[in-house]
Chain A
Amino acid sequence: MRTETRNEALWKFGAYIFLMVIVVLVLIPLYWMIVAATIPQSEFFSWPPRIIPGLQWFDNFQALQENIDFLNSMWNSIIISVSYTALSLVLCSMAGFAFAKYEFRFKEPLFYFILATLVLPIQLLIIPLFLLMVQIGWTNSYLAVILPWAANPLGIFLMRQNMKAIPDSLLESARMDGATEFQLYYKIALPTMLPSLAALSIILFLNQWQAFLYPLVILQDPQMYTIPLALAELVGQQRVYFDQIMVATSLAVTPIFVVFLTMQQYFIKGILSGSVKQ
Chain B
Amino acid sequence: MALSAIRSRVRSLEAYQQLSDRVRYTRQDISAGIPEIPWLPYAYISPFFILFGIFLLFPTAYTLYLSFFNYLGVANEVLLSVTMGPVTVSIPQIANLEFVGLSHYERLVFRDGLFHTSLFNTAFIFLVQVPLMVSVGLATAVVLDSKFIRAKGLFRTLIALPVATGLVAYSTIFLLLFNDQAGLINYVLVQLGLSPVAWLGSAWGARMTIVLAVTWRWLGYNMIILLAGLQTVPEQLYEAAEIDGAGRWQKFRYVTLPQIQPVLLFVVVSSTIGTFQIFSEPYIITGGGPSNATITVVQYIYNQAFLQLNLGYASAVSVLLVIIVSAMSIVQIQYGGEE
Contacts and interface: CB of A to CB of B under 8 A. Distances in A.
A36 interface: yes
A119 B157 contact: no
A23 B166 contact: no
Interface in A186-218: 206, 209-210, 212-213, 216-217
A107 B283 CA distance: 42
Contact of B169 (A149, A249, A267): A249
A127 B172 contact: no
Interface in A255-278: 256-257, 259-261, 264, 267-268, 271-272, 275, 278
B55 A98 contact: no
Given A128-B62, A135-B94, A180-B31, A227 B166 contact: yes
B176 A123 contact: no
Interface in B103-157: 136, 139-140, 143-144, 146, 148-149, 155, 157
B319 A275 contact: no
Nearest to A260: B164
A121 interface: yes
B322 interface: yes
A121 B45 contact: no
Contacts of A98: 40-42, 44-45
A118 B269 CA distance: 14
Given A120-B322, A130-B306, A264-B157, A12 B148 contact: yes
Given A156-B48, A227-B169, A268 B279 contact: no
A22 B159 contact: yes
Nearest to B57: A117
A151 B52 contact: yes
- Which secondary structure dominates chain A's binding surface? helix
Nearest to A202: B164
Given A227-B169, A228-B169, A30 B161 contact: yes
A229 to B, nearest CB: 8
A52 interface: no
Interface string A210-242: 101100110000000001100110110000001
B23 to A, nearest CB: 15
Interface string A1-24: 000000000011001101100110
Contact of B318 (A12, A123, A248, A272): A123
A92 B173 contact: no
A248 B168 CA distance: 11
A94 B43 CA distance: 9
Nearest to B183: A49
Interface in B33-71: 34, 36-37, 40-42, 44-45, 47-52, 55-60, 62-63, 66
A131 interface: yes
B314 A135 contact: no
A15 B143 contact: yes
Contacts of A28: 177, 184
B197 interface: no
Contact of A252 (B169, B277, B318, B322): B169
A26 B167 contact: no
Contacts of B269: 278
Nearest to B34: A180
Contacts of B280: 212-213, 228
A228 B56 contact: no
B44 A213 contact: no
Contacts of B302: 213, 216-217
A129 B62 CA distance: 9
B74 interface: yes
Contacts of A25: 216
B176 A271 contact: no
Contacts of B246: none
A117 B179 CA distance: 40
Contact of B315 (A18, A44, A127, A228): A127
A109 to B, nearest CB: 13
23 contacts: A18-B139, A23-B159, A26-B161, A29-B162, A30-B161, A47-B187, A94-B48, A95-B44, A123-B279, A124-B59, A127-B311, A135-B94, A149-B55, A212-B168, A232-B168, A242-B176, A245-B175, A246-B172, A248-B172, A249-B173, A253-B165, A275-B225, A278-B262
Given A29-B162, A119-B273, A217-B306, 5 more contacts: A26-B158, A26-B219, A123-B279, A134-B74, A213-B280
Interface of A: 11-12, 15-16, 18-19, 22-23, 25-30, 32-33, 36, 44-45, 47-49, 51, 90-92, 94-95, 97-99, 102-104, 107, 110, 114, 117, 119-132, 134-135, 147-151, 153, 156, 180-183, 185, 206, 209-210, 212-213, 216-217, 227-228, 231-232, 234-235, 242, 245-246, 248-249, 252-253, 256-257, 259-261, 264, 267-268, 271-272, 275, 278
